[in-house]
Amino acid sequence: MSKILIELTVNGDLRELAVAPHERLLDVIRDGLGLTGTKEGCGEGECGACTVIMDGRPVNACLVLAPQAAGSEIITIEGLTADSTMSLLQTQFVERGAIQCGFCSPGMIMTAKALLDDNPEPTEEDVREALSGNLCRCTGYEKIVDAVLATAVLSAEEKAVDERFTTSSQGGDR
């Protein structure tokens, strides 16, 4: 079976890859690129462990064929850690005990990131709705939901602080 050459951007890096037509994006990420932070829990799109963000939307990487991802921009869990510092969302997952075995965590965090990017002030219902495709067997979801809500609150506070100081410094310039 002849392979197809595709280009895609993963965590900011442009990658060129030869893939089989039926190869899954998940295998490209895990085996082709060695980004094993993205997990496989079922291979059928039921558990959400393999969630990555593709062009701004959360997708199950086990259900996306690699050629379908050609030209797209993918963010995996590894892409959230800049200069070895975790994002606020990841920090909240840790500090609020939202992680037990951790196997669902990367997918859960990617889904939550996509939600917060889209809706920076979600209600608890919004969060539970958004996470409903990501299964967790350890936590009962309570601390996960709280971590996402807390991230939203802290981001809003950070934003408010940023705005205030940006405004005053600009004011000082004039």
Partner 1 sequence: MSTFSYIGKRVPPVDGEERASGRAEYVTDVRLPGMLFGKILRSPLAHARIVRMDTSAAEALPGVKAVATFADTPGIPFGPMTAFEDWYIFAKDKVRFIGEEMAAVAAIDEETAARALDLIEVEFEELPAVFDPVQAMDPGSPLVNGRERNVVMPFSLERGDVDTAFANADLVLEEDYYTNQVYQAYLETMAAVVRPETGGGFTMWLPIQIPNKSRLTYGKALGIRPEDIRVIKPFLGGAFGAKMEANIHLAAAILARKTGRPVRIVNTREEDIVAGNPRVPMHIHLKMAFMRDGRFAGKQVRIVAANGARTVYAPPIMATACYRVDTLYTFENVRAEGYAVDTNTVPTGAFRGFGNSQMTFALESMIDEAALELGLDPVEIRRRNAVPSGFVSIHGWEVGSSAHEQTLDNAANMSGLLSRRRSASDKGTLRRGLGMASCNHVSGNKAFFPTFDGSSSMFRMAEDGKVTVFHGECDMGQGQTTIFAQIAAEALGARLSDVTIAIVDTQVAPFGLGSFATRGTTIGGMGIKKGADAGKELILQAGAEHFGVDILALDTLESEVYVKADPSRRVPFGDLARHFMFTHGGMPMVAQGQYVPDTVAPDPKTKYGNVSPAYVFGAHVAEVEVDTETGEVRVVGYWASHDVGRAINPMQLEGQVQGGVAQGIGWTLMEDMITRDGRIMNPTLLDYRIPGSKDLPRVQCDFVEPVDPNGPFGAKGIGEPALNPVPAAIANAIYDAIGIRFKELPITAERVFTALNDREATSKSSAKGD
The footprint of partner 1 (CB under 8 A) covers: 30, 34-44, 46-47, 49, 76-78, 80-81, 86, 90-91, 93-97, 99-106, 109, 127-129, 131-145
Residues 85, 60: Cα–Cα separation, whole Å: 25
Could you tell me the smallest distance in angstroms from the CB atom of residue 36 to partner 1? 4
Q: CB count, 10 Å around CB of 39?
A: 21
> What is residue 13's three-state secondary structure?
strand
The type of residue at 53 is: I
Q: Name the strands in the sheet holding 4-10, side by side, starting at the edge strand that comes first in the sequence.
A: 13-19, 4-10, 73-75, 51-54, 57-60
Tokens of 121: 């002030």
Contact in structure between 122 and 116 (CB atoms under 8 Å): yes
Closer residue to partner 1, CB minimum distance, 40 or 54: 40
Closer residue to partner 1, CB minimum distance, 101 or 162: 101
Closer residue to partner 1, CB minimum distance, 34 or 172: 34
Could you tell me the smallest distance in angstroms from the CB atom of residue 166 to partner 1? 30
Closer residue to partner 1, CB minimum distance, 72 or 111: 111
Could you tell me the smallest distance in angstroms from the CB atom of residue 106 to partner 1? 5
Tokens of 95: 């500090």
Contact in structure between 153 and 146 (CB atoms under 8 Å): no
Q: Which residue has the tokens 């350890």?
A: 138
Size (the chain), residues: 174
Closer residue to partner 1, CB minimum distance, 82 or 161: 82
Could you tell me the smallest distance in angstroms from the CB atom of residue 138 to partner 1? 5
